[in-house]
Amino acid sequence: MTDIVRTITPAPTPGAAFMRALKSFALIRESWVGMIGTGLVVFWIVVALAAPVIAPFEPNATLQPFAKPGVAFTKGGIFWLGTDHIGRDILSRIIWGSRAVLLYAPLATICAYTVGIVMGLAAGYFRGWIDELLSRLADIILSFPVLVLYIIIIATIGASALNIIVAITFASAPGIFRIVRGLVLDLRNRDYVAAAQTRGESSWQIMLVEILPNARGPLIVDACLRLGYVIITIGVLGFLGLGLPPPDPDWGGMINETRQMALAFPHMSVFPCVAISSLILGFNLLADGLREISLRD
């Protein structure tokens, strides 16, 4: 019996929890949709990490304007995807641009989730006036057309990486709030919540330890989908000229700068579009895959 005491004693470390999460993620192998999604996402992550190594040119260097894809540069190297109107290599800009997207999109999503989860937990668990107040607030925000909302926010506080995150958090938190609130309304009636109440746990302990972990399934799936939407949003903001300040490469901005030449030089805007679509598709398929495996067991 003492053996067992000894084997149990080490408390589960964060490392062990991470390994367990990784293990359950490994189930995604059984969904081919999920595997394609994972493949696309991993591809872009690798590209972003390896940008300095694989990008053939400096992303902001003006080299040779209006080069078609496949044209060789006079000083060596090939413009695989061509160059834009001021002569920057499109492939290099896409590769470097993936860094911005893969940094700011998850950051914005995490911020939106933090706000949405805290509000949703409070509204769903406490009910009463706090629920009434937060729900009406969410309704008001959701009643604005999203695009108008972004333009108003960015126009007011100015275009910068931080402000994009603020705007996205402001616009998407109400949607997350509604999902979390709905899940909490169901979970708060479980017997284990009553058991926690009868042993005198504090409200936040119950919300964060007893309720939130059991809402994780639907939330993870939603987070993947939402990550896709946020990438679109960042792209749209770039396209509207409200994105990351130039000259750093930004996929949406690349499309915006070259859209007037799209008929004559389609390669300038088509390739950034393909990059955005593939990454969004990756996250959407990943979400589908996660939903598939979560329904199975």
Judged by beta carbon, residue 190 or residue 259, the one nearer another protein is 190
CA distance 220 to 289: 11
In the complex, least distance from residue 132 CB atom to another protein, rounded to whole angstroms: 13
Task: Return the residue matching tokens 């169901």.
Answer: 186
Tell me whether residue 6 or residue 75 sits nearer to another protein (CB atom): 6
Q: Which residues of 160-190 are buried (b: 16+ CB within 10 A; e: fewer)?
A: ebebbbbbbbbbbbbbbbbbbbebbeebbee
- Where do we find the tokens 């979970």? 187
- Residue 16 CB, nearest approach to another protein (Å): 11
Nearer to another protein by C-beta: 216 or 259? Answer: 216
Distance CA 266, CA 255 (A): 10
Tell me what percent of the chain is helix, strand and coil, each rounded to the nearest 5: 75, 0, 25
Q: Please identify, using beta-carbon distances, which residue of 75 and 297 lies nearer to another protein.
A: 297
> Closest distance between another protein and the C-beta of residue 219, in Å?
13
Cβ atoms of 100 and 115 closer than 8 Å: no
For the bound state, the minimum distance from the C-beta of residue 34 to another protein, rounded and expressed in Å, comes to 15
Q: What is the DSSP letter of 237?
A: H
CB of 209 to another protein, least distance (A): 8
Name the residue nearer to another protein (CB basis): 240 or 293: 293
Residues near another protein (CB under 8 A) = 1, 4-5, 8-9, 12, 30, 190-192, 194-201, 209-210, 213-214, 216, 296
